[in-house]
Structure 1
Amino acid sequence: MRTPSYWFTDPDKPDWRARLLSPLGWLYGFGTARRVAGANDAYRASVPVVCIGNINAGGTGKTPTTIALAQRLISQGKVVHIVSRGHRGSEEGPLRVDERQHGADQVGDEPLLMAAFAPTWIARDRVKGVQAAEAAGAEIILMDDGFQNPSVHKTLSIVVVDAVKGFGNARCIPAGPLREPVRAGMKRADLLLSVGHARAQTLFQQKWDKVITCPHATGQLEPLQTGMDWEGMNVLAFAGIGLPEKFFATVSDLGANLLRAEALADHQPLTDALMKRLEIEAAALGAQLVTTEKDAVRLPDGFRRKVLTVPVRLELEDWSAVDAALARILAG
């Protein structure tokens, strides 16, 4: 889904469409509040469950955050498992993702990507997914998304937000980008992680400081150094992620000459027909096809060698707030 532009206007000067849809947004937020209230009956796992979620709909950086946390915990000797719902069209589960056997159409692109870093499960029923990870020997479970899902008790809840977009116009779907009001989400969050460059972080802090009521960490997505020389390379970049413009900016920042940027819908299937069209357009421009890691796992077999990937990793300058939160739950 492409996010409407009016979702990210000034909260104090909302677009007329946001004002018109505000009653529906209030009803959406009320529905979320009622659903979250059911958390009293949540399943309590025998090991800590860390939820990496968001208040915004769409891409905020949950997958890179989950991968970064998994790598950090594994480096400390912890047995980490990841539990995800997959996406529409993926199997019901619980199913442990196997990169050698499964495709993105079966398990989802994000679980397939995360499975390269830690054992990853997909399950429509999150309780069953968590139970499967427990039975397989997990010492700590990272739950990808599910902040508004009350079925599993969260030992720690980390809310991820894009520092550039912030919380948009502070209204709930369909009037704005929020799944629930910011203040309501902050009451349940144990840690807020904003993802973006230094200037965006400063502006985010200035704009939203009054509603941030939990510890706040900051991070930035940095391209992984692969030895590829991007300087001056003519590229046609395409991305089917929540915020494709972030990827296009990354490609430009690497020094590539971005001749065309094709923004696709999040999780959009990369069919042979679509890829053939992009291949023809790239050839006409004298450009190299480039995409994200998440999109790369959805490429048809015939195009895997034709498309370059720009992997990114979440970097935190200061891990102290995250480490303190993790140490607290692991000690408890």
Structure 2
Amino acid sequence: MRAPGFWSRPPGAWSALLAPLGALYARATARRVARGGARVGVPVICVGNLSAGGTGKTPTVAWLLGLLAARGVAAHVVSRGHGGSLDGPVRVEPARHGAAEVGDEPLLLAAFAPTWVAKDRRAGAEAAVAAGARAVVLDDGFQNPTPAKDLSIVVVDAEAGFGNGRVIPAGPLREPVEAGLARADLVLSIGPEAAQARLVVPGAVPRVRGRLAPLRTGMDWRGLPVFAFAGIGRPEKFFDTLRGLGAEVRGTAALADHQPLTPALLKRLGERAARLSAQPVTTEKDAVRLPAALRGRVLVLPVRLEVEDAAPVEAALDRLFGAAP
């Protein structure tokens, strides 16, 4: 599903018409989060958002795992496994599982730390703790009350902000901004400086700024003719990154977030690339959904989160795990 265009514009006729449904959605979310959750015996760090779609949660989880590893904390990831068929709890094994079973994001995160898929997040966290986790990082789940959270980081796309400020289906929000930020410990806004300057985050929640930057792999993109395709929250960001690296972007295909890469779709994408005499290129998240036979024929542009000032995050981790060595 692609987000409706009116979600990103000032409230108009469509959002006004759907506002009563949005109010019902908001009330249902408020009742759910009010139930609270149980402790699982180790600190639980939640990386979530207030908006539907991609805001940069997965790169944020990968970055947090690096901070925890530097402290000697054995962290496991727990994810719902969006798009996967397994209910779990099950530990992701990239050699055995595919995206159709566990989802693309857990496959990607399994390269950074032990990762579990569980529709029941509390059961997933308990399975991780039983397997030796000294911390659990929830990939998404801010609106899910179980398990109880010790640190909640809300990730915001600085360019998209909070859209038209209304709740699904009248807007992109899973809950009203004020209600969500009241439960947040930190806000991480991700995007270029100009967008960061425009973004207004209400309330007094500490805010950290970051951006997604291409991982330095030695690949020279300058002048390379490419056909780019991506099934992420905002594919245009990926296309712009390629242009910023100097690639000659001859064509693009913006797919729906988590869209399955069926044989028919891959055939069409391959034919478009061939007609344009361009090298196919995609994101890390999309690459894990590719059939093994095609992975060597599609270039991948990995990105990593770079944080302007990580001191508020480090201070929060100090409170949970003691001062960093």
Could you tell me which residue of structure 2 aligns to residue 19 of structure 1? 16
> Which of the residues 130, 135, 143 maps onto 1:140?
135
Could you tell me which residue of structure 2 aligns to residue 308 of structure 1? 299
**What is the Cα deviation at residue 88 of structure 1?**
3.4
Aligned with 2:161: secondary structure? coil
Residue segments in structure 1 that go unaligned for 5+ positions in a row = none
**What is the Cα deviation at residue 212 of structure 1?**
3.4
Query: Which whole-Å CA distance do the structure 2 matches of 1:317 and 1:213 have between them?
Result: 19
Could you tell me which residue of structure 1 aligns to residue 249 of structure 2? 258
Write the letter of the residue equivalent to 2:124: G
Alignment of 1:88-237 (within 5 A): 88-204=83-199, 208-209=200-201, 211-237=202-228
Write the letter of the residue equivalent to 1:77: G
Query: Which whole-Å CA distance do the structure 1 matches of 2:154 and 2:265 have between them?
Result: 34
Query: 1:102-123 deviations in whole A, cap 9, x for unaligned?
Result: 1111111000000000000001
Write the letter of the residue equivalent to 1:159: V
Aligned with 1:274: secondary structure? helix
Higher mean displacement: 321-330 or 166-175: 321-330
**What is the Cα deviation at residue 251 of structure 1?**
1.0
Q: What is the count of residue pairs matched by the alignment?
A: 323
Q: Aligned-residue CA RMSD in angstroms?
A: 1.1
Query: Which whole-Å CA distance do the structure 2 matches of 1:299 and 1:122 have between them?
Result: 20
Task: Answer yes or no: is 1:246 the counterpart of 2:237.
Answer: yes
**What is the Cα deviation at residue 5 of structure 1?**
1.1
Q: Is the 8 A contact 2:74 2:134 kept in 1?
A: yes
Q: TM-score, normalised by structure 2?
A: 0.97
Aligned with 2:296: secondary structure? coil
**What is the Cα deviation at residue 54 of structure 1?**
0.5
Q: Is the 8 A contact 1:230 1:254 kept in 2?
A: yes
Query: Which whole-Å CA distance do the structure 2 matches of 1:21 and 1:331 have between them?
Result: 47
Moved over 4 A (4+): none
Aligned with 1:291: secondary structure? strand
Query: Which whole-Å CA distance do the structure 2 matches of 1:303 and 1:315 have between them?
Result: 30
Query: Which whole-Å CA distance do the structure 2 matches of 1:110 and 1:64 have between them?
Result: 10
**What is the Cα deviation at residue 89 of structure 1?**
3.5
Q: TM-score, normalised by structure 1?
A: 0.95
Could you tell me which residue of structure 2 aligns to residue 282 of structure 1? 273
Task: Answer yes or no: is 1:8 the counterpart of 2:3.
Answer: no
Task: Answer yes or no: is 1:29 the counterpart of 2:26.
Answer: yes
Write the letter of the residue equivalent to 1:162: D
Query: Which whole-Å CA distance do the structure 1 matches of 2:203 and 2:288 have between them?
Result: 36
Task: Answer yes or no: is 1:65 the counterpart of 2:60.
Answer: yes
**What is the Cα deviation at residue 328 of structure 1?**
1.1
Query: Which whole-Å CA distance do the structure 2 matches of 1:89 and 1:133 have between them?
Result: 19
Could you tell me which residue of structure 1 aligns to residue 258 of structure 2? 267
Write the letter of the residue equivalent to 2:34: A
Query: Which whole-Å CA distance do the structure 2 matches of 1:185 and 1:223 have between them?
Result: 30
Q: Is the 8 A contact 1:82 1:141 kept in 2?
A: yes
State percent identity of aligned pairs. 59
Write the letter of the residue equivalent to 2:119: R
Aligned with 2:182: secondary structure? helix
**What is the Cα deviation at residue 261 of structure 1?**
1.1
Q: Is the 8 A contact 2:54 2:234 kept in 1?
A: yes
Could you tell me which residue of structure 1 aligns to residue 71 of structure 2? 76
Query: Which whole-Å CA distance do the structure 1 matches of 2:151 and 2:105 have between them?
Result: 21
Query: Which whole-Å CA distance do the structure 2 matches of 1:227 and 1:331 have between them?
Result: 37
Query: Which whole-Å CA distance do the structure 2 matches of 1:52 and 1:266 have between them?
Result: 18
Write the letter of the residue equivalent to 2:23: W
Q: Is the 8 A contact 1:251 1:258 kept in 2?
A: yes
Q: Is the 8 A contact 2:89 2:117 kept in 1?
A: yes
**What is the Cα deviation at residue 53 of structure 1?**
0.4
Residue segments in structure 2 that go unaligned for 5+ positions in a row = none
Write the letter of the residue equivalent to 2:238: F
Query: Which whole-Å CA distance do the structure 1 matches of 2:198 and 2:146 have between them?
Result: 35
